[in-house]
Structure 1
Amino acid sequence: MSAPEKKLVRSKSGLRMIPVNNVDVSPFTISEPPWVPDNECVVCMNSSCRAKFDFRRRRHHCRRCGRCFCNSCCDSKVPLNRMCFVDPVRQCNVCVEVSRKENEFFDKHLKTLCNGGDFVLKESGDEIEGSSSTFRCKLSTDNRTVTFESNHDKHEPIQMERLESVQILTGGVDAEVFPRLDDDGNMVASGIAMKYQNHSSDKNMVKLVINPTSTNKREGQMWIAAMQKAFKLIHETRMLDKP
Protein backbone atom coordinates (compact mmCIF):
# COMPACT_ATOMS: atom_id res chain seq x y z
CA MET A 1 0.00 0.00 0.00
CA SER A 2 1.44 3.34 -1.06
CA ALA A 3 1.63 6.32 1.27
CA PRO A 4 -1.40 8.64 1.07
CA GLU A 5 -1.16 11.88 -0.87
CA LYS A 6 -0.66 14.87 1.43
CA LYS A 7 -1.05 18.63 1.31
CA LEU A 8 0.46 21.53 3.23
CA VAL A 9 -2.03 23.70 5.12
CA ARG A 10 -1.58 26.70 7.40
CA SER A 11 -3.49 27.30 10.61
CA LYS A 12 -2.96 29.98 13.23
CA SER A 13 -0.84 27.44 15.11
CA GLY A 14 1.56 26.70 12.23
CA LEU A 15 2.08 24.65 9.08
CA ARG A 16 0.65 21.14 8.97
CA MET A 17 1.14 18.29 6.48
CA ILE A 18 -2.14 16.38 6.32
CA PRO A 19 -3.67 13.77 3.97
CA VAL A 20 -5.64 15.09 1.01
CA ASN A 21 -8.49 12.67 1.77
CA ASN A 22 -9.97 12.35 5.25
CA VAL A 23 -10.18 8.58 4.83
CA ASP A 24 -6.37 8.50 4.93
CA VAL A 25 -6.04 10.28 8.28
CA SER A 26 -3.83 8.35 10.69
CA PRO A 27 -5.62 6.93 13.76
CA PHE A 28 -2.82 8.38 15.90
CA THR A 29 -3.62 12.01 15.09
CA ILE A 30 -5.69 14.41 17.17
CA SER A 31 -7.41 17.62 16.11
CA GLU A 32 -6.15 21.11 16.83
CA PRO A 33 -7.90 22.55 19.89
CA PRO A 34 -9.81 25.84 19.83
CA TRP A 35 -7.86 28.67 21.45
CA VAL A 36 -9.18 30.26 24.63
CA PRO A 37 -10.18 33.81 23.53
CA ASP A 38 -7.85 36.54 24.77
CA ASN A 39 -10.73 38.43 26.40
CA GLU A 40 -11.51 35.38 28.54
CA CYS A 41 -7.96 35.04 29.77
CA VAL A 42 -6.70 37.84 32.01
CA VAL A 43 -4.17 35.74 33.95
CA CYS A 44 -1.90 32.80 33.14
CA MET A 45 -3.91 29.57 33.19
CA ASN A 46 -1.16 27.70 35.04
CA SER A 47 -2.75 27.32 38.49
CA SER A 48 0.62 27.69 40.22
CA CYS A 49 1.43 30.90 38.33
CA ARG A 50 -1.69 33.02 37.67
CA ALA A 51 0.45 35.96 36.52
CA LYS A 52 -1.64 38.88 35.25
CA PHE A 53 -1.29 39.81 31.60
CA ASP A 54 -0.44 43.41 30.64
CA PHE A 55 1.40 45.24 27.89
CA ARG A 56 4.72 43.68 29.01
CA ARG A 57 3.52 40.18 29.92
CA ARG A 58 2.02 38.76 26.73
CA ARG A 59 -0.37 35.87 26.27
CA HIS A 60 0.85 32.69 24.58
CA HIS A 61 -1.44 29.86 23.48
CA CYS A 62 -0.36 26.25 23.82
CA ARG A 63 -0.82 24.57 20.43
CA ARG A 64 -1.74 21.28 22.05
CA CYS A 65 -4.35 22.30 24.65
CA GLY A 66 -5.31 25.76 23.37
CA ARG A 67 -5.07 27.35 26.81
CA CYS A 68 -3.43 30.70 27.52
CA PHE A 69 -0.15 31.12 29.44
CA CYS A 70 2.61 33.57 30.18
CA ASN A 71 5.97 33.09 28.47
CA SER A 72 7.53 31.38 31.50
CA CYS A 73 4.82 28.70 31.46
CA CYS A 74 4.76 28.25 27.69
CA ASP A 75 8.21 28.94 26.26
CA SER A 76 9.17 25.54 24.78
CA LYS A 77 8.79 24.51 21.16
CA VAL A 78 8.80 20.76 20.48
CA PRO A 79 7.47 18.57 17.64
CA LEU A 80 3.76 17.79 17.81
CA ASN A 81 3.45 14.77 15.55
CA ARG A 82 -0.09 13.95 16.63
CA MET A 83 -1.30 17.17 14.99
CA CYS A 84 0.97 16.79 11.94
CA PHE A 85 2.85 20.07 12.42
CA VAL A 86 5.84 20.46 10.12
CA ASP A 87 7.94 22.39 12.65
CA PRO A 88 8.17 22.34 16.46
CA VAL A 89 5.39 24.44 18.01
CA ARG A 90 4.92 26.30 21.28
CA GLN A 91 3.45 24.22 24.08
CA CYS A 92 2.83 24.72 27.80
CA ASN A 93 5.05 23.04 30.37
CA VAL A 94 2.55 20.23 30.93
CA CYS A 95 1.81 19.48 27.27
CA VAL A 96 5.44 19.61 26.23
CA GLU A 97 6.25 16.62 28.46
CA VAL A 98 3.32 14.66 27.01
CA SER A 99 4.46 15.42 23.45
CA ARG A 100 8.04 14.43 24.18
CA LYS A 101 6.92 11.02 25.40
CA GLU A 102 4.70 10.57 22.33
CA ASN A 103 7.50 11.59 19.99
CA GLU A 104 9.43 8.49 21.04
CA PHE A 105 6.58 6.48 19.55
CA PHE A 106 6.66 8.39 16.26
CA ASP A 107 10.46 8.42 16.03
CA LYS A 108 11.04 4.80 17.03
CA HIS A 109 8.06 2.51 17.60
CA LEU A 110 6.08 3.52 14.52
CA LYS A 111 9.01 2.46 12.32
CA THR A 112 9.12 -0.88 14.15
CA LEU A 113 5.43 -1.48 13.40
CA CYS A 114 5.84 -0.60 9.71
CA ASN A 115 8.93 -2.83 9.36
CA GLY A 116 6.93 -5.74 10.76
CA GLY A 117 7.56 -8.91 12.70
CA ASP A 118 7.14 -12.64 12.11
CA PHE A 119 4.45 -14.45 14.13
CA VAL A 120 2.54 -17.71 14.21
CA LEU A 121 -1.13 -16.76 13.91
CA LYS A 122 -3.76 -18.30 16.15
CA GLU A 123 -7.46 -17.55 15.82
CA SER A 124 -9.61 -17.59 18.94
CA GLY A 125 -10.19 -21.20 19.95
CA ASP A 126 -7.59 -22.64 17.57
CA GLU A 127 -4.48 -24.55 18.55
CA ILE A 128 -1.09 -23.77 17.08
CA GLU A 129 0.45 -26.76 15.36
CA GLY A 130 3.91 -27.35 14.04
CA SER A 131 2.61 -26.85 10.51
CA SER A 132 1.01 -23.47 11.28
CA SER A 133 2.02 -20.74 8.89
CA THR A 134 4.19 -17.84 9.90
CA PHE A 135 2.88 -14.42 8.95
CA ARG A 136 4.76 -11.18 8.48
CA CYS A 137 2.64 -8.69 10.43
CA LYS A 138 3.09 -5.05 9.45
CA LEU A 139 1.40 -1.71 9.92
CA SER A 140 0.49 -0.08 6.61
CA THR A 141 2.21 3.13 5.50
CA ASP A 142 -0.95 5.13 6.25
CA ASN A 143 -0.91 3.64 9.78
CA ARG A 144 -4.53 2.50 9.44
CA THR A 145 -4.22 -1.26 8.88
CA VAL A 146 -2.33 -4.28 10.21
CA THR A 147 -1.57 -6.58 7.29
CA PHE A 148 -0.62 -10.27 7.31
CA GLU A 149 1.75 -11.61 4.67
CA SER A 150 2.33 -15.34 4.11
CA ASN A 151 3.39 -17.57 1.24
CA HIS A 152 0.67 -20.10 2.04
CA ASP A 153 -2.27 -18.70 3.99
CA LYS A 154 -4.28 -15.50 4.13
CA HIS A 155 -5.81 -13.45 6.92
CA GLU A 156 -7.98 -10.39 6.61
CA PRO A 157 -6.28 -7.10 7.48
CA ILE A 158 -7.23 -5.52 10.79
CA GLN A 159 -8.29 -1.88 10.81
CA MET A 160 -6.56 -0.08 13.67
CA GLU A 161 -9.68 1.96 14.37
CA ARG A 162 -11.58 -1.31 14.92
CA LEU A 163 -9.21 -2.58 17.59
CA GLU A 164 -11.02 -2.99 20.90
CA SER A 165 -8.22 -4.32 23.10
CA VAL A 166 -4.70 -5.71 23.07
CA GLN A 167 -3.18 -8.06 25.63
CA ILE A 168 0.45 -9.07 26.00
CA LEU A 169 0.98 -12.84 26.20
CA THR A 170 3.81 -14.15 28.35
CA GLY A 171 3.41 -17.92 27.94
CA GLY A 172 4.81 -20.39 25.46
CA VAL A 173 3.19 -21.51 22.24
CA ASP A 174 1.88 -24.73 23.77
CA ALA A 175 1.03 -23.48 27.26
CA GLU A 176 0.42 -19.77 27.63
CA VAL A 177 -0.08 -20.15 31.39
CA PHE A 178 3.63 -20.73 31.92
CA PRO A 179 5.42 -17.37 31.70
CA ARG A 180 8.84 -17.01 30.20
CA LEU A 181 11.39 -15.22 32.32
CA ASP A 182 14.59 -13.45 31.33
CA ASP A 183 17.85 -13.69 33.27
CA ASP A 184 16.59 -11.06 35.73
CA GLY A 185 13.34 -12.89 36.42
CA ASN A 186 11.16 -10.52 34.36
CA MET A 187 8.35 -11.88 32.21
CA VAL A 188 9.14 -11.90 28.50
CA ALA A 189 6.43 -11.28 25.92
CA SER A 190 5.73 -14.34 23.78
CA GLY A 191 2.87 -12.85 21.78
CA ILE A 192 -0.04 -10.46 21.65
CA ALA A 193 -3.81 -10.99 21.56
CA MET A 194 -5.83 -8.42 19.62
CA LYS A 195 -9.60 -8.17 19.86
CA TYR A 196 -11.25 -6.32 16.98
CA GLN A 197 -14.35 -5.92 14.84
CA ASN A 198 -14.18 -7.27 11.31
CA HIS A 199 -15.86 -5.69 8.28
CA SER A 200 -19.12 -7.41 9.22
CA SER A 201 -18.90 -5.86 12.71
CA ASP A 202 -18.41 -9.30 14.26
CA LYS A 203 -16.04 -9.45 17.22
CA ASN A 204 -12.92 -11.50 16.56
CA MET A 205 -9.70 -12.22 18.39
CA VAL A 206 -6.36 -13.12 16.88
CA LYS A 207 -3.24 -14.14 18.76
CA LEU A 208 0.18 -13.47 17.27
CA VAL A 209 2.77 -15.72 18.91
CA ILE A 210 6.51 -15.53 18.46
CA ASN A 211 7.75 -18.82 17.05
CA PRO A 212 10.07 -20.39 19.68
CA THR A 213 12.33 -21.64 16.85
CA SER A 214 12.74 -18.16 15.39
CA THR A 215 16.26 -16.79 15.22
CA ASN A 216 15.00 -13.23 15.66
CA LYS A 217 12.68 -13.24 18.68
CA ARG A 218 13.81 -9.72 19.60
CA GLU A 219 12.17 -8.29 16.49
CA GLY A 220 8.84 -9.81 17.47
CA GLN A 221 9.11 -8.58 21.06
CA MET A 222 9.84 -5.03 19.86
CA TRP A 223 6.83 -5.19 17.51
CA ILE A 224 4.59 -6.32 20.38
CA ALA A 225 5.78 -3.47 22.62
CA ALA A 226 5.22 -0.96 19.81
CA MET A 227 1.69 -2.25 19.14
CA GLN A 228 0.82 -1.87 22.82
CA LYS A 229 1.94 1.78 22.69
CA ALA A 230 0.03 2.30 19.43
CA PHE A 231 -3.21 1.04 20.93
CA LYS A 232 -2.75 3.30 23.95
CA LEU A 233 -2.55 6.33 21.65
CA ILE A 234 -5.65 5.23 19.75
CA HIS A 235 -7.55 4.71 23.00
CA GLU A 236 -6.56 8.20 24.14
CA THR A 237 -7.74 9.64 20.84
CA ARG A 238 -11.13 7.97 21.30
CA MET A 239 -11.46 9.49 24.75
CA LEU A 240 -10.65 12.95 23.38
CA ASP A 241 -13.21 12.57 20.60
CA LYS A 242 -16.01 11.69 23.02
CA PRO A 243 -18.54 14.53 23.50
Structure 2
Amino acid sequence: MAGEGKKLKKGFGGDMRMVPVDDSLSSPFSLPETPWVPDAQCPKCVQCQGKFDFLTRRHHCRRCGKCFCDTCSSTKVRLPRMLFVDPVRHCAGCTNISQKENDFFEKHVKNLMTGASFHVSQSGEANNNDAIYSCKMTSDHRNLQFENQTSRLDEILVTNIESLQILVEDTDSYGNPVASGVAMKYVDSCGEKMIIKMIVTNGQTKRQGQVWLASMQKAFKLIHDARTTIR
Protein backbone atom coordinates (compact mmCIF):
# COMPACT_ATOMS: atom_id res chain seq x y z
CA MET A 1 0.00 0.00 0.00
CA ALA A 2 1.34 3.42 -0.93
CA GLY A 3 2.17 5.71 1.96
CA GLU A 4 0.91 9.26 2.37
CA GLY A 5 2.23 11.43 -0.45
CA LYS A 6 3.39 8.43 -2.47
CA LYS A 7 1.98 6.25 -5.22
CA LEU A 8 2.83 2.98 -6.94
CA LYS A 9 4.03 3.32 -10.51
CA LYS A 10 5.25 0.78 -13.05
CA GLY A 11 8.82 1.12 -14.30
CA PHE A 12 9.87 0.59 -17.90
CA GLY A 13 9.98 -3.19 -17.41
CA GLY A 14 6.83 -3.43 -15.35
CA ASP A 15 8.64 -3.46 -11.99
CA MET A 16 6.78 -1.46 -9.34
CA ARG A 17 8.21 1.77 -7.97
CA MET A 18 7.03 3.77 -4.96
CA VAL A 19 7.32 7.37 -6.12
CA PRO A 20 6.32 10.67 -4.46
CA VAL A 21 3.15 12.30 -5.74
CA ASP A 22 5.08 15.58 -5.87
CA ASP A 23 8.55 15.18 -7.41
CA SER A 24 9.77 18.23 -5.50
CA LEU A 25 9.37 16.24 -2.28
CA SER A 26 11.56 13.32 -3.33
CA SER A 27 14.52 12.20 -1.25
CA PRO A 28 17.80 13.90 -2.21
CA PHE A 29 19.32 10.42 -2.41
CA SER A 30 16.93 9.24 -5.12
CA LEU A 31 17.73 9.07 -8.83
CA PRO A 32 15.37 9.15 -11.82
CA GLU A 33 14.71 5.82 -13.50
CA THR A 34 17.21 5.29 -16.32
CA PRO A 35 15.64 5.19 -19.82
CA TRP A 36 16.16 1.89 -21.61
CA VAL A 37 18.34 1.60 -24.69
CA PRO A 38 15.92 0.78 -27.56
CA ASP A 39 15.98 -2.86 -28.68
CA ALA A 40 16.92 -1.83 -32.22
CA GLN A 41 20.13 -0.26 -30.92
CA CYS A 42 21.37 -3.33 -29.07
CA PRO A 43 21.69 -6.40 -31.35
CA LYS A 44 24.05 -8.14 -28.90
CA CYS A 45 24.79 -8.40 -25.19
CA VAL A 46 26.91 -5.52 -23.91
CA GLN A 47 28.96 -7.85 -21.72
CA CYS A 48 29.48 -11.18 -23.51
CA GLN A 49 28.78 -9.87 -27.03
CA GLY A 50 26.39 -12.75 -27.71
CA LYS A 51 23.86 -11.99 -30.45
CA PHE A 52 20.20 -11.80 -29.52
CA ASP A 53 17.84 -14.16 -31.32
CA PHE A 54 14.78 -16.29 -30.66
CA LEU A 55 16.65 -18.34 -28.03
CA THR A 56 18.87 -15.63 -26.58
CA ARG A 57 16.54 -12.93 -25.34
CA ARG A 58 17.61 -9.42 -24.49
CA HIS A 59 17.08 -8.01 -21.00
CA HIS A 60 17.66 -4.52 -19.65
CA CYS A 61 19.62 -3.70 -16.53
CA ARG A 62 17.28 -1.53 -14.44
CA ARG A 63 20.13 0.70 -13.30
CA CYS A 64 22.04 1.51 -16.51
CA GLY A 65 19.28 0.66 -19.03
CA LYS A 66 21.65 -1.27 -21.33
CA CYS A 67 20.90 -4.65 -22.98
CA PHE A 68 22.24 -7.95 -21.67
CA CYS A 69 21.51 -11.62 -22.09
CA ASP A 70 19.86 -13.47 -19.22
CA THR A 71 23.16 -14.94 -17.99
CA CYS A 72 24.85 -11.54 -17.81
CA SER A 73 21.93 -9.87 -16.00
CA SER A 74 20.45 -12.64 -13.86
CA THR A 75 21.24 -11.02 -10.49
CA LYS A 76 18.41 -9.17 -8.78
CA VAL A 77 19.39 -6.47 -6.31
CA ARG A 78 17.47 -3.86 -4.37
CA LEU A 79 17.57 -0.42 -5.99
CA PRO A 80 16.07 2.06 -3.50
CA ARG A 81 17.73 5.06 -5.16
CA MET A 82 15.41 4.56 -8.14
CA LEU A 83 12.51 3.76 -5.80
CA PHE A 84 11.94 0.16 -6.88
CA VAL A 85 9.83 -1.77 -4.38
CA ASP A 86 11.42 -5.20 -4.97
CA PRO A 87 14.90 -6.34 -6.11
CA VAL A 88 15.35 -5.82 -9.85
CA ARG A 89 17.56 -7.14 -12.64
CA HIS A 90 21.16 -5.81 -12.70
CA CYS A 91 24.22 -6.31 -14.86
CA ALA A 92 27.46 -7.25 -13.06
CA GLY A 93 28.90 -3.72 -12.95
CA CYS A 94 25.71 -2.14 -11.66
CA THR A 95 25.27 -4.93 -9.10
CA ASN A 96 28.45 -3.81 -7.32
CA ILE A 97 27.36 -0.16 -7.32
CA SER A 98 23.87 -0.88 -5.99
CA GLN A 99 25.12 -3.23 -3.29
CA LYS A 100 27.45 -0.51 -1.97
CA GLU A 101 24.61 2.02 -2.01
CA ASN A 102 22.34 -0.41 -0.18
CA ASP A 103 24.90 -0.52 2.61
CA PHE A 104 24.62 3.27 2.78
CA PHE A 105 20.82 3.10 3.12
CA GLU A 106 20.89 0.28 5.67
CA LYS A 107 23.65 1.74 7.83
CA HIS A 108 24.35 5.41 7.28
CA VAL A 109 20.85 6.75 6.63
CA LYS A 110 19.79 4.97 9.82
CA ASN A 111 22.61 6.70 11.73
CA LEU A 112 21.60 10.11 10.38
CA MET A 113 17.95 9.62 11.31
CA THR A 114 18.88 8.39 14.81
CA GLY A 115 20.82 11.59 15.37
CA ALA A 116 23.60 12.71 17.73
CA SER A 117 24.49 15.57 20.07
CA PHE A 118 26.77 18.46 19.11
CA HIS A 119 27.97 21.84 20.34
CA VAL A 120 26.47 24.08 17.64
CA SER A 121 27.35 27.60 16.50
CA GLN A 122 26.17 29.45 13.38
CA SER A 123 27.43 32.33 11.24
CA GLY A 124 27.77 35.53 13.22
CA GLU A 125 27.45 33.79 16.60
CA ALA A 126 30.14 33.41 19.20
CA ASN A 127 31.07 29.81 20.00
CA ASN A 128 29.01 28.70 22.97
CA ASN A 129 29.96 25.38 24.49
CA ASP A 130 26.64 25.29 26.32
CA ALA A 131 24.62 25.34 23.06
CA ILE A 132 24.19 21.59 22.72
CA TYR A 133 21.63 20.36 20.20
CA SER A 134 20.46 16.99 19.02
CA CYS A 135 20.86 16.85 15.24
CA LYS A 136 19.10 14.31 13.05
CA MET A 137 17.83 13.85 9.53
CA THR A 138 14.09 13.87 8.89
CA SER A 139 12.36 10.68 7.73
CA ASP A 140 12.04 12.04 4.17
CA HIS A 141 15.84 12.65 4.10
CA ARG A 142 15.28 16.27 3.08
CA ASN A 143 16.20 18.26 6.19
CA LEU A 144 18.50 18.38 9.20
CA GLN A 145 16.78 19.26 12.48
CA PHE A 146 18.45 20.87 15.50
CA GLU A 147 16.71 20.96 18.86
CA ASN A 148 17.22 20.69 22.60
CA GLN A 149 14.91 20.96 25.59
CA THR A 150 14.50 24.72 25.33
CA SER A 151 14.95 25.74 21.70
CA ARG A 152 15.06 24.70 18.07
CA LEU A 153 17.17 26.05 15.21
CA ASP A 154 15.92 26.48 11.66
CA GLU A 155 16.08 23.28 9.65
CA ILE A 156 18.72 22.96 6.95
CA LEU A 157 17.64 21.63 3.57
CA VAL A 158 20.16 18.90 2.75
CA THR A 159 20.30 19.86 -0.92
CA ASN A 160 21.22 23.43 0.11
CA ILE A 161 24.49 22.29 1.68
CA GLU A 162 27.24 23.61 -0.58
CA SER A 163 30.32 22.29 1.20
CA LEU A 164 31.21 20.10 4.13
CA GLN A 165 34.53 20.13 5.97
CA ILE A 166 35.33 17.51 8.59
CA LEU A 167 37.25 19.03 11.52
CA VAL A 168 40.10 17.01 13.04
CA GLU A 169 41.77 17.71 16.37
CA ASP A 170 43.09 14.31 17.41
CA THR A 171 44.40 10.94 16.17
CA ASP A 172 43.75 7.39 17.30
CA SER A 173 46.34 4.91 18.60
CA TYR A 174 47.31 4.10 14.99
CA GLY A 175 47.89 7.73 14.04
CA ASN A 176 44.70 8.00 11.99
CA PRO A 177 42.83 11.33 12.16
CA VAL A 178 39.70 11.33 14.33
CA ALA A 179 36.79 13.61 13.47
CA SER A 180 35.97 16.18 16.13
CA GLY A 181 33.29 18.07 14.24
CA VAL A 182 32.12 19.50 10.94
CA ALA A 183 31.71 22.90 9.31
CA MET A 184 28.96 23.10 6.68
CA LYS A 185 28.31 25.96 4.31
CA TYR A 186 24.66 26.16 3.19
CA VAL A 187 21.97 28.47 1.87
CA ASP A 188 19.17 29.21 4.35
CA SER A 189 15.47 29.67 3.64
CA CYS A 190 16.03 33.38 2.91
CA GLY A 191 18.73 32.70 0.34
CA GLU A 192 21.56 33.80 2.61
CA LYS A 193 24.82 31.85 2.70
CA MET A 194 25.46 30.51 6.20
CA ILE A 195 28.02 28.39 8.00
CA ILE A 196 27.16 26.04 10.84
CA LYS A 197 29.83 24.47 13.01
CA MET A 198 29.07 21.28 14.92
CA ILE A 199 31.52 19.90 17.50
CA VAL A 200 31.16 16.40 18.93
CA THR A 201 30.25 16.33 22.61
CA ASN A 202 32.47 14.41 25.03
CA GLY A 203 31.39 11.53 27.23
CA GLN A 204 29.10 8.66 26.32
CA THR A 205 27.72 10.45 23.24
CA LYS A 206 31.13 11.12 21.65
CA ARG A 207 31.28 7.90 19.63
CA GLN A 208 27.72 8.39 18.38
CA GLY A 209 28.62 11.88 17.20
CA GLN A 210 31.68 10.65 15.31
CA VAL A 211 29.61 7.94 13.63
CA TRP A 212 26.99 10.53 12.63
CA LEU A 213 29.70 12.73 11.07
CA ALA A 214 31.05 9.82 9.01
CA SER A 215 27.53 9.08 7.74
CA MET A 216 26.90 12.75 6.93
CA GLN A 217 30.12 12.89 4.93
CA LYS A 218 29.01 9.87 2.88
CA ALA A 219 25.55 11.39 2.37
CA PHE A 220 27.00 14.67 1.09
CA LYS A 221 29.30 12.81 -1.32
CA LEU A 222 26.40 10.72 -2.64
CA ILE A 223 24.31 13.82 -3.34
CA HIS A 224 27.28 15.71 -4.85
CA ASP A 225 28.17 12.81 -7.15
CA ALA A 226 24.54 12.53 -8.26
CA ARG A 227 24.46 16.23 -9.18
CA THR A 228 27.67 15.84 -11.20
CA THR A 229 26.37 12.74 -13.01
CA ILE A 230 23.03 14.31 -13.92
CA ARG A 231 24.73 17.44 -15.27
The verdict on a shared fold, with TM-score over 0.5 as the criterion, is yes
> Which residue of structure 1 aligns with residue 29 of structure 2?
28
Counterpart residue type for residue 94 of structure 2: C
Q: Give yes or no for the alignment of 1:236 onto 2:228.
A: no
Instruction: Report the Cα distance in structure 2 between the residues aligned to 1:88 and 1:168, rounded to whole angstroms.
Output: 35
Check whether the contact 2:12–2:36 (CA below 8 A) recurs between aligned residues.
Answer: no
1:69-108 → structure 2 map (5 Å cutoff): 69-108=68-107
List alignment gaps of at least 5 residues for structure 1: 172-179
Counterpart residue type for residue 7 of structure 1: K
Check whether the contact 1:58–1:71 (CA below 8 A) recurs between aligned residues.
Answer: yes
Change (3 A) 1:109 1:241: same
Pairwise CA distance, 1:41: 0.6
Pairwise CA distance, 1:153: 4.0
Counterpart residue type for residue 79 of structure 1: R
Instruction: Report the Cα distance in structure 2 between the residues aligned to 1:112 and 1:209, rounded to whole angstroms.
Output: 17
Pairwise CA distance, 1:167: 1.4
Counterpart residue type for residue 190 of structure 2: S
Q: Deviations over 1:191-223 (max 9, x none)?
A: 1111111122221111110123x3221110111
Q: Give yes or no for the alignment of 1:9 onto 2:15.
A: no
Pairwise CA distance, 1:56: 1.7
The size of the alignment, in residue pairs, is 228
Counterpart residue type for residue 148 of structure 2: S
Partner-residue secondary structure (3-state), 1:238: helix
> Which residue of structure 2 aligns with residue 167 of structure 1?
165
Check whether the contact 1:191–1:210 (CA below 8 A) recurs between aligned residues.
Answer: yes
Instruction: Report the Cα distance in structure 2 between the residues aligned to 1:223 and 1:62, rounded to whole angstroms.
Output: 33
Change (3 A) 1:199 1:108: same
Q: TM-score, normalising length from structure 1?
A: 0.88
Q: TM-score, normalising length from structure 2?
A: 0.93
Counterpart residue type for residue 221 of structure 1: Q
Counterpart residue type for residue 175 of structure 2: G
- Match among 150, 153, 178 for residue 152 of structure 1: 150
Instruction: Report the Cα distance in structure 2 between the residues aligned to 1:159 and 1:99, rounded to whole angstroms.
Output: 25
Pairwise CA distance, 1:127: 4.5
Greater relative contact order, per chain length (Cα 8 Å cut-off, separation 6+): 1
Check whether the contact 2:138–2:145 (CA below 8 A) recurs between aligned residues.
Answer: yes
Counterpart residue type for residue 165 of structure 2: Q
Partner-residue secondary structure (3-state), 1:170: strand
> Which residue of structure 2 aligns with residue 133 of structure 1?
131
List alignment gaps of at least 5 residues for structure 2: none
Instruction: Report the Cα distance in structure 1 between the residues aligned to 2:76 and 2:17, rounded to whole angstroms.
Output: 15
